[in-house]
Amino acid sequence: MEFLDKIRKRKKNTEDVLTSQKADRRILNHVPDKTKERGDSERRGYDSDKIHSYEDYIAEKESGIRYITGFEVVLKTGKKINGKRKFICKSVDVSNTGMLLELSESDYNALIDTTGLKAKFRVTPGSMPEGYEMRVSQKIKVVRRIATEDGKYLMGITFTKHLHNYAAANKDRYMFTASVILLAFSVACIMLMRAESIIYFKFNKMLYLYSIITAVFLLSRYTFGAFYKPVKVDPEYTPGVTILVPCFNEQEWIQRTIISCLNQEYPVDKLEVIIIDDCSTDNSVEKIKEIIDRLKNESYERYEVADRLSYHVQEHNAGKRDALVVGAEMAKHDLVLFVDSDSFLDPFAIINIVQPFKDPKICGVSGRTDVANTYTNALTKMQAVRYYIAFRVMKAAEAVFDTVSCLSGPLSCYRKSVILENKDNWINQRFLGQKATFGDDRAMTNFILRHHRTFYQDTAVCQTIVPNKHSVFLKQQMRWKRSWLRESLIAGTFMWKKEPFAAVTFYMGLVVPIAAPVVVLYNLVYVPITKHIFPTAFLLGLLLMSLLMSLAQLLLRKSSTWLYGMLFCLYYELVLLWQMPIAWVTFWKSTWGTRMTPSDVEAAKAKEERKQRHRKNRHV
């Protein structure tokens, strides 16, 4: 235990920065009332005249979400009050429609019966969801005033223009215009450079062929991603769903994950949640029991928590795949949803992710995974851009052909029958004689893709915690590359049977990253040394490719993180790219790097023993 404590201290991350929602008085505030005694419109006072579709209903509910803040707000009056026109206060919480302010007693009394107020403030990054960060200056209306018993003076205000409408009028249209122009310019430059590759093709066939394949692959992803559309919600289509949460040493986040899984806008009798603990060595099981008891005690009987929420503890650590199979065998519904133990579902994730299953040919659907701790540091911001483009562009492009090649672990849904049909092959999968211990999402996707179709539902959203330290991030990326190599080679044996364009782009996507290290070495090392030519064209091509990622983030999400897309591309070329050849010769390793699995503990012990032997030898 002492050894494990030392390892945990060494791996302890810096504190993550997460957007914080104001807690509702009901812990399961999104669960529909099965008795129908009170509907959402009665409880929240929604204007039914504004709601014409389920999408309008979702937008209306999301507008009311309040986020805990603390940024400065300047209130301006049309005329001087007590010699002042400006009053500085603090935002307590903010939503799309209004804000709660904390004032000093003198300012609170001075602003009684004041009309014509104007508020100026900056929505700081991380205080609201991505895309809301901006400077705001608009008229407000005071709707309530509160003097609390503990001496605080609060004032509730509403905006004359909702923040998303304000952004559309004052920020988003300029971002949209700029990003479209720059995207068009970047694409035009890439196409001109590839035209040059065709002209000079005979002088270096392999190099120019690679550059053409790379350009066609990336441009096709962005093009088809632009044509993608998620399946619209039919509120009457609510098949039974069992959520499976495999857990191993996730005491920090597991309770939040469980709450998000149960707190869904989905019929009570159609949803169950099963947590499968894979013999954790920390306090995960205690945390699971604690939150289950709390949910049972604090929720109304009409939510049937006792019948819908359960947990199972494995007798020994058997791995994530075994835990998920155990859960699938326990599941009582026909659809099973896999959710990672450090991921948090949006309240409308389930109702959205089940919609593609109306098509009987669809047997697996991936939702979108956003980064929960985006604003922690530069590394997490880079990952936020990478995640969004990987889902909204890359998976969306694959979804056009119903051939999504990876139903990602944080949020993916399957037909239970397909899971059970392939459970033995999945659990006992081996590659070149070695047991496959990770890459479970890609492996199961391959089993499905052989005979069925897969889809991506962008409106089904979850948030996940990503590594905020480079050492952990690099280990995670190495693990992903090993599983990507293995499963991509396996998928290559049957993807040729799919739609021609889907098959061709898949094989392009397989060749590009594998050959990339050789191409980079040739252009940045061999050519300058032997030919004495500076690689201007190659570097310009890299710049343009990185611009595509950043500008797509700016266009689609309008987030302040967009520049980190270019930083990620640079990081990839300098660091991540060189993991690929290492992955080829270390595919047999089974360590995770992001959590202390038994394999990680064993590897850490071996490393510690080597260090001790080295110290002893040095002192001898």
For the stretch 128-147, pLDDT in tens is: 998 899 999 999 999 999 99
How far, in Å, are 260, 364, 388, 419, 439 from residue 403 at the CA level? 29, 10, 19, 18, 18
| pLDDT score of 586 more than 80 | no
Give CB contacts under 8 A, 24+ apart, made by 25-28: 26/299, 27/259, 27/263, 27/294, 27/295, 27/298, 27/299, 28/259, 28/262, 28/263, 28/295, 28/299, 28/303, 28/305
- Local confidence band at 602 (pLDDT 50, 70, 90 cut-offs): low
pLDDT of residue 600: 62
Given pLDDT bands bounded at 50, 70 and 90, which one contains residue 500?
very high
Q: Mind listing the pLDDT tens digit for each residue in 213-223?
A: 999 999 999 99
| CA count, 13 A, side-chain hemisphere, 98 | 12
Q: What is the pLDDT of residue 72?
A: 94
DSSP state of 193: H
d(CA 23, CA 587): 45
> 2-11, 330-339, 560-569: which range is least confident on average?
2-11
Residue 412 to residue 356: CA distance in whole angstroms: 12
Pick the range with the lowest mean pLDDT from 50-64, 100-114, 163-177, 330-344: 50-64
The pLDDT of residue 591:
60
Quick one: DSSP state of residue 525? Answer: I
Residue 26 confidence (pLDDT): 80
> What's the pLDDT tens digit per position in 290-341?
999 999 887 767 788 889 999 999 998 888 999 999 999 999 999 999 999 9
pLDDT (0 to 100) of residue 238: 96
As a whole number, the mean pLDDT across the chain is 88
Q: Per-residue pLDDT averaged across 259-277, rounded?
A: 95
Side chain identity, residue 483: S
Residue 4 pLDDT exceeds 70:
no
Q: Which has more pLDDT, 17 or 586?
A: 17
Query: pLDDT tens across 95-129, in order?
Result: 999 999 999 999 999 888 777 899 999 999 889 99
Give the mean model confidence (pLDDT) for residues 393-399: 96
Closest to 196 (Cα-Cα) out of 567, 544, 531: 544
The confidence band for 590, taking pLDDT boundaries of 50, 70 and 90, is low
Tell me the whole-structure pTM to 2 decimals: 0.90
Tell me the average pLDDT across 596-615. Answer: 64
Q: Which tens digit of pLDDT belongs to each residue from 72-102?
A: 999 998 888 877 889 999 999 999 999 999 9
Predicted local distance difference test score (pLDDT) of residue 27? 84
Confidence of residue 207 (pLDDT cuts 50, 70, 90): confident
pLDDT exceeds cutoff 60 at 40: no
Domains of the chain: 67-161 (2.40.10.220), 169-228+508-584 (no CATH), 241-498 (3.90.550.10), 590-619 (no CATH)
* Tens-place pLDDT, residues 457-486: 999 999 999 999 999 999 999 999 999 999
- pLDDT-derived band of residue 605, with 50, 70 and 90 as boundaries? low
